[in-house]
Amino acid sequence: MTPSANTGGMLPLTPDPDSTTGWMALGLCRMYAPSTFFPSDGVGVDKARKICAACPVQNECLEHALEHRIEHGVWGGCSERERRRILKRRRDLTVS
């Protein structure tokens, strides 16, 4: 939700239908500091995963990170290492 300048109330966020990343407006991560999703230790990764687990756009987020080969941070509930494993499994399946 975003503050409304006219009413002082809150307006629901809606993704831009013309944007390929409009889904990001619905992500729970927007309510946390970016550093939450770029942790330096396993405890931080677990915290980010818990947030992602309840996110309505978790799948879109993960697919975005995989498609764009994002190497850092937790995206869609997966760490860098987990995303590399997913990509490797997908490559292995297409070769088989």
Mean of all residue pLDDT scores within the chain: 87
**What pLDDT band is residue 4 in, cutting at 50, 70 and 90?**
very low
The pLDDT tens digits for 7-54 are 444 545 676 777 889 999 999 999 999 999 999 988 999 999 999 999
Whole-model pTM? Answer: 0.80
Q: What is the number of structural domains in the chain? A: 1
Neighbours of 64 (CB within 10 A): 17
Alpha-carbon distances, residue 72 vs 6, 7, 14, 55, 82 (angstroms): 39, 39, 27, 19, 11
**Domain limits at 47?**
2-95
Eight-state DSSP code of residue 32: S
What are the structure tokens assigned to 88, written together? 């490797």
